[in-house]
Amino acid sequence: MADTGSTIEKRKRGAKKSPRFSREQAEVRRGMLVEAAARCLSQGGIGAFTVDRICREAGVSRGLINHHFDGLDGLLVEVYKSSLYASVTAHMAEAKRRRAENADWPPETALAALIQSNFSPQYFSRANLLIWLSLWGEIAINARLKAAHRELYDAYRAELAEDIAAVARARDREVDAPALARNFIALVDGLWLEWCLDETVVTPEAAEAAGFEMIEAQVGVLR
């Protein structure tokens, strides 16, 4: 009886762990599909973003895309978020956390980190830029992707404007923070495009310097 009870108890413990294990497995599969889809985009553009090619790249069955992402459009949105906004989103979350936990955290630090996040090596990469080019045209005709872009862009611009305004207030400067944030994002987009088309036109270091120069012209030195 003791052995039987012990066996039953082990089974109960195993049953309790299985939901978490299933969730972890699901996240692994989702990640594999996002990475495979990103590779397909960077290698062949939007024309390579097909169920067959993505599943072949990931080494999974065709049904997993619909199971995890509600179709190709859902997967496309996830690729967009992970490839083009992951670094910026992480810095935005860090800035909000630091502001909430430490009122003495200098606003210059938050703004400089957000500017630099656009040019970090894992973000400002050839693969990401090729994905960006592929998705840029698709945003204009894909309603779901357009909605995701608007949500991410608005959140990013609002955070950037908030950080710019905080620095300007601390230094007693008058700045149109929303307009400056918009112009900075447009500059970054242009630099990304130039670098993607011809790497000899601008280096990542020069692109970052140009971004800082635009903001610093309005709020003063940050570096």
Tell which residue, 196, 219, 201, 207, has the closest CA to residue 116.
207
> What domains, with CATH codes, occur in the chain?
2-71 (1.10.10), 85-219 (1.10.357.10)
pLDDT tens figures, 70-128: 899 999 999 988 877 777 777 777 777 777 776 677 889 889 988 988 888 777 788 88
Q: Specify the DSSP element, H or E, that contains 42.
A: helix 2-44
Burial level of 168, CB count in 10 A (0-12/13-18/19+)? Answer: buried
CB 64 within 8 A of CB 82: no
Name the region of 71 (left: φ>0; alpha: ψ -120 to 50; beta: rest): left
Confidence of residue 5 (pLDDT cuts 50, 70, 90): low
pLDDT of residue 126: 81
Q: Give the whole-number percent of the chain exceeding pLDDT 70.
A: 88
Whether 140 has a pLDDT exceeding 60, the answer reads yes
Specify the pTM. 0.78
Say if CB 68 and CB 26 are below 8 A apart.
Answer: yes
pLDDT of residue 20: 52
Give the pLDDT confidence of 141-178 residue by residue, as tens digits.
999 999 999 998 998 899 899 999 999 999 999 999 99
- Interval 24-55: pLDDT, tens: 587 888 889 999 999 999 899 999 999 999 99
Task: Calculate the average pLDDT of the chain.
Answer: 85
| pLDDT of amino acid 21 | 43
Task: pLDDT band for 6, please (50, 70, 90 cuts).
Answer: low
Residue by residue, DSSP assigns 45-79 as: -GGG--HHHHHHHHT--THHHHHHHSSHHHHHHHH
DSSP 137: H
Token pair of 106 as six digits: 């200098």
* Whole-angstrom distance, CA of residue 220 vs CA of residue 223: 10
Measured over the CA atoms of residue 32, residue 154, residue 171 and residue 100, the dihedral's sign is negative
Q: For 199, which DSSP code?
A: T
